[in-house]
Amino acid sequence: MDKIPCQLYLISPLIVDGDFPNQLAAALSAAPVAAFQFRVKDMDNHAAARLAAPLQEICAAHDVAFVVNDNVTLAKRLKADGVHLGQGDGDVREARLELGADVQIGVTCHNSRHLAMEAGEAGADYVAFGAFYPSTTKVTEYVAEPEILEIWSKFMEIPCVAIGGITPENARPLIEAGADFLAVSSAVWQYPGGPAAAVKAFHAVLA
């Protein structure tokens, strides 16, 4: 079976009010995007749900999966398409029982194939490796090499996501190594030409 080409997976900045819905709409209108992860911190579920609502509508209008970061309860409340779990954010099996069979569950696995295999055995729909490059979005505790994508994609069927400091300029080695998705944040929202230009620049590399 032919491998599906690598796709773009956008992660929100921590601030998603103000003009951000317009930025998201512009980004999703520029070229195909597979998924958008709603990532806010230190906020109760009621406030988070209010911020998520317009963004979820924009994603639905562009046929983009809406994924909630870290929070199974919020993902269930929003009827989100997916939830992404860090290593300390809960058990995949428990999340599956809570959310049902159709919700996509992803797991952060840093630079560890062992963690990724455990996640896969627990029922994760995708695993995320990184950081591959220094990131301005969060502190880099783990460093991954493209080889982990190459080995994973060669022997495992569960899709893998590359994350951490990825830009249009440095993405090519990760695509060639076998990443199924590129997860990007600041490289889109802080791109000098704006989010739409950033998505187009990534697609030029993905093509």
Residue position matching structure tokens 């990760």: 174
The one-character DSSP state at 15 is -
Residue with tokens 């709603």: 38
CB atoms within 10 A of CB 187: 24
Q: What is the dihedral of CA 173, 174, 179, 180, to 10 degrees?
A: -90
pLDDT at 3 over 80: no
Lowest mean pLDDT among 55-64, 131-140, 152-161, 177-186: 131-140
Nearest to 202 by CA among 24, 32, 65: 32
Topology of domain 7-206 in CATH is TIM Barrel (3.20.20)
**Each residue's pLDDT tens digit, 13-32:** 999 999 999 999 999 999 99
Per-residue pLDDT tens over the stretch 80-127: 999 999 998 889 999 999 999 999 999 999 999 999 999 999 999 999
Q: Where are the domains of the chain?
A: 7-206
| Structure confidence by residue, pLDDT tens digits, 27-73 | 999 999 999 999 999 999 999 999 999 999 999 999 999 999 999 99
Model pTM score: 0.96
Q: Specify whether the CB–CB gap between 167 and 199 falls below 8 A.
A: no
**Reported confidence tier of residue 1, pLDDT bands at 50, 70, 90:** very low
